[in-house]
Amino acid sequence: MTRTVTSVVDGQPVPGDRTVASLNPADLDDAVGEVSLAPGRIFTAAAVVARNAQRAWADVPAPVRGRAIAHIGRVVEENAESLARLVTREIGKPYAEALGEVREIVDTCDFFLGEGRRLYGQTVPSEMPDKQLFTFRNPVGTVAVITAGNFPVAVPSWYIVPALLTGNTIVWKPAEYSAVVSNAFHDLFVKGGGLPDGVFNLVHADGADTYAGLQESLELGYIDKVGFTGSSEVGREIGALTGRHLQTACLELGGKNPLVVTPSADLDLAVEGALFSGFGTAGQRCTSLGTVIVHESLHDEFLRRFTAAVDAAAVGDPTQDVLMGPLLDAKFAERYEKFLGWVQPQHTVHGRTGRITSGNPRDGFVGDPAKGLYYHPVVVDGVRPGDELFDQETFGPIVGVTSYSTLDEAIDLANAPGYGLSSSIYTTNPADAFAYRRGISAGMVSINNSTSGAEAHLPFGGNGKSGNGSRQSGMWVLDQFTRWQSVNWDYSGRLQKAQMDVADLDADLGFRLDDQP
């Protein structure tokens, strides 16, 4: 039987007004489930429920909320393999990667379970006697979280875990093409973790209805913060919408992530990093490698080794030991076909392009390519600024290569597309590493590591077209979901006016030391 998943509001399933199928992209004959999509009014209703539940949730002592996060982490850990298998089935992510993604939920919970006892404020000395100054972290209120499906469980946890820990309630709108995984994630948090009804609500809706519901919820004052992971284009719209309500969204957007190879680089290590960051998850990460920027003295040798590694990589059935499986969904396959159309006569394409079929085969393919949305991994040499392949994010298994002569030129090339999420440099020269770190606009820099890979206790986020400077993960994300409140307590029994009733010590500013021989 095909499972039908619905929105869950105040602990109750809420059917939508139409259904769509969620298909396994590795086997399009396998319907993972049907998704009941809700109209915008359901999003608004969920925001009302979340808002009504927020005060009681915030009144739960923060250490107790931390214990709730601890329980969720243990429940996810006990269900890790089942959840990872579902991730692989619904979005086609290779199982090893899917299991690592589930582990990231556990790591995030492990970090934040202790933050319930460390939501520190400060005592601040006053400039006047008999007066004390304090600061407190307060929850923002009700948070709308809208996430993509390429990381259907790890990325939502980056928002939802710290938001819950700090006393906020949630309305979560995941991607339609990962809806079955999303319901499993929600069940683990609510049924497994024991969250009260109304604290964490799930809404399945398409983009237009989500925007309409979010807009109405903001206008009526039901939503206090928006977290969004997705494309730069949609991120601009979310940012503009929240800005009209004097809110700043937490935006984690796309990337055109550079990897610089210097003359001192370990070439084999650089090739390994480029292969994983370029083609892991079939290039469908916000941190996927966009362009390799390799020193002109190494260009030909790097390209030889890199293309050989791509040709030898295992591609196919994501339940097997492969580097990459299918594209996530038919809409991404259609978009990727457009990206392939950006190849120009001045570019050199290495290997086959397009969908893998019996007429367009890939040597060593694992499984049956006719079953799913499988595409050839592609390396395109000779990309330069002004080329769409160089300037724009290409969400799929395609990597550009270009060359440079000086490190300053490499940094200029790395910054040229205007994104600023992740970046990498391969070098054994500390001076090059620090010069690159100083000059690159990206929010994340890897030295002798790939552009992909996040740890739960390090800030994650980008600048420019990759985001608005907000950061997720670690203690830095607390600033997204809390607001500082300052308190001054005057127990002097009289009105003391700051900057006016302040005592001062008299100083002799004309004092000079005697000249001594």
- The residues with which 5 forms a beta bridge, in sequence order, are 35
Q: Does 242 share its domain with 267? A: no
Q: Do the beta carbons of residue 333 and residue 327 sit within 8 Å?
A: yes
Q: Please, what is the end-to-end C-alpha distance for the chain in angstroms?
A: 101
User: Coil, strand or helix: which one is 274?
Assistant: helix
Supply the CATH number for residue 213's domain. 3.40.605.10
Tell me if 514 is assigned to some domain. Answer: no
Quote the distance between the C-alpha of residue 51 and its chain's center: 25
pLDDT confidence of residue 517: 65
CA triple 217-218-219, angle to 5 deg: 90
Question: Which residues have a Cβ under 8 Å from the Cβ of 61 and sit 6 or more positions away?
Answer: none
Of 241, 218, 214, 175, which Cα lies nearest the Cα of 41?
Answer: 214
Total tally of structural domains belonging to the chain: 2
Task: Provide φ and ψ at 43, rounded to 5°.
Answer: -60, -45
296: number of CA atoms within 13 Å, CB side?
6
pLDDT confidence of residue 1: 58
Kindly state the tokens that stand for 468.
């608005």
Q: Do the beta carbons of residue 185 and residue 152 sit within 8 Å?
A: yes
Quote the distance between the C-alpha of residue 127 and its chain's center: 43
Q: Does 282 share its domain with 205? A: no
- Rounded to an integer, what distance in angstroms lies between the CA atom of residue 450 and that of residue 447? 8
Q: Does 235 share its domain with 312? A: no
Q: What is the pLDDT along the chain (517 residues), one digit of tens a residue?
A: 578 999 999 999 999 999 999 999 999 999 999 999 999 999 999 999 999 999 999 999 999 999 999 999 999 999 999 999 999 999 999 999 999 999 999 999 999 988 999 999 999 999 999 999 999 999 999 999 999 999 999 999 999 999 999 999 999 999 999 999 999 999 999 999 999 999 999 999 999 999 999 999 999 999 999 999 999 999 999 999 999 999 999 999 999 999 999 999 999 999 999 999 999 999 999 999 999 999 999 999 999 999 999 999 999 999 999 999 999 999 999 999 999 999 999 999 998 999 999 999 999 999 999 999 999 999 999 999 999 999 999 999 999 999 999 999 999 999 999 999 999 999 999 999 999 999 999 999 999 999 987 788 899 999 999 999 999 988 999 999 999 999 999 999 999 999 898 888 899 999 999 877 6
Tell me if 37 is assigned to some domain. Answer: yes
- Rounded to an integer, what distance in angstroms lies between the CA atom of residue 346 and that of residue 400? 13
Q: Find the helix packing angle between 62-78 and 95-113, rounded to 10°.
A: 160
pLDDT confidence of residue 98: 97
Q: Whose structure tokens read 């009144």?
A: 59
Tell me if 492 is assigned to some domain. Answer: no
Tell me if 499 is assigned to some domain. Answer: no
Tell me if 294 is assigned to some domain. Answer: yes
Q: Does 275 share its domain with 197? A: no
Q: Does 60 share its domain with 207? A: yes
Catalytic residue positions, numbered? 252
Q: Does 35 share its domain with 137? A: yes
Kindly state the tokens that stand for 481.
């979901």
Q: Does 319 share its domain with 404? A: yes
Task: Provide φ and ψ at 245, rounded to 5°.
Answer: -110, 20
> What is the value of pTM for the model shown?
0.94
Tell me if 135 is assigned to some domain. Answer: yes
User: Coil, strand or helix: which one is 248?
Assistant: coil
Of 142, 143, 158, 169, which Cα lies nearest the Cα of 60?
Answer: 169
Supply the CATH number for residue 312's domain. 3.40.309.10
Secondary structure tally for the chain: helices H, strands E: 15, 22
Of 483, 443, 442, 438, which Cα lies nearest the Cα of 459?
Answer: 443
Kindly state the tokens that stand for 327.
């594209």
Maximum C-alpha span of the chain: 101
CA distances from 336 to 98, 269, 374, 377, 393 (A): 22, 28, 11, 11, 11
Q: Does 236 share its domain with 283? A: no
Expressed as residue numbers, the domain containing 417 is 257-447
CB atoms within 10 A of CB 504: 6
Q: Does 211 share its domain with 306? A: no
Q: Does 232 share its domain with 307? A: no
Kindly state the tokens that stand for 465.
């077209």
- Rounded to an integer, what distance in angstroms lies between the CA atom of residue 425 and that of residue 432? 9
Q: Does 315 share its domain with 200? A: no
- Rounded to an integer, what distance in angstroms lies between the CA atom of residue 256 and that of residue 420? 8
Task: Provide φ and ψ at 95, rounded to 5°.
Answer: -55, -40
Q: Do the beta carbons of residue 389 and residue 347 sit within 8 Å?
A: yes
Q: Do the beta carbons of residue 299 and residue 459 sit within 8 Å?
A: no
pLDDT confidence of residue 455: 85
Which amino acid does the sequence have at 310? V
- Rounded to an integer, what distance in angstroms lies between the CA atom of residue 374 and that of residue 365? 10
User: Coil, strand or helix: which one is 363?
Assistant: coil
Quote the distance between the C-alpha of residue 59 and its chain's center: 29
Q: Do the beta carbons of residue 454 and residue 460 sit within 8 Å?
A: yes
Tell me if 494 is assigned to some domain. Answer: no
Q: Does 239 share its domain with 373? A: no
Tell me if 118 is assigned to some domain. Answer: yes
DSSP track, 151-168: STTHHHHHHHHHHHHTT-
